[in-house]
Amino acid sequence: MVIWEQENKSVALLYPSEECLLSKGAYLIALKDVPEGRPFWIVSEDVIPADFTFSDAWEVPEEWGDPDGYGSQYNTFEELENAEN
């Protein structure tokens, strides 16, 4: 799962499909789908509260430390792959 803080400070969650995770990996999915320049963290689903009642108040915990990456300017896997070459 990928999590990031949006510009309005609300937390966004991305649940990639198992098929996509196996073929592309969470990091490339995050690079493609997280808005450009936004820091993201790749976490296991068990760190996300099961109760979404107060999800508007969620924050990225400081103990997660530095982000795993930042959203890229690319919107497709093809663009990401071409940028790496």
The residues, ordered by sequence, that sit 6+ positions from 64 with a Cβ below 8 Å of its Cβ are 41, 43
The pLDDT score that the predictor gives to residue 36 is 95
**Which residues, 6+ apart, have CB-to-CB distance to 30 below 8 Å?**
2, 4, 14, 40, 42, 68, 69, 71
pLDDT for 85 equals: 65
Q: What is the pLDDT of residues 68-84, one digit of tens each?
A: 999 999 989 889 888 87
Query: What pLDDT score was predicted for residue 19?
Result: 94
Which band of pLDDT confidence, cut at 50, 70 and 90, is reported for residue 48? confident
**pTM, entire model:** 0.87
Burial class (CB in 10 A: 0-12, 13-18, 19+), 40: buried
Q: What is the pLDDT of residue 29?
A: 95
